[in-house]
Amino acid sequence: MSADYHPLDRAAGVPILLGPIIGGLIVDNTSLQWIFVVNVPIAGAAILLAAGVLRPDAGRVDAGKLDWLGAL
């Protein structure tokens, strides 16, 4: 089975497994507000990483008009 998936695809399962466990430990040992405090530096790091890696015009295509009826 490991030959079917790229190593990065397999590694994506680790946060999915660890996130609820770590979140539960934080809430059980502190309070719910600490979840938000912990997420602030994580979100900041994600924004900085995305700003450094992503290019504003990479892969941009003309999407055309928005289908308002389909959006509803």
pLDDT tens per residue across span 12-64 = 788 888 889 988 998 899 988 888 888 899 899 999 998 888 777 666 667 67
Q: Could you state, in order of their start, the residue ranges of all structural domains in the chain? A: 2-53
Displacement of CA 11 from its chain's centroid (Å): 14
Rounded to two decimals, what is the model's pTM? 0.50
By C-alpha distance, which of 25, 27, 58, 22 is closest to 42?
Answer: 22
Q: Who contacts 10 (Cβ-Cβ below 8 Å, separation ≥6)?
A: 2
How does residue 2 score in pLDDT terms, banded at 50, 70 and 90?
Answer: low
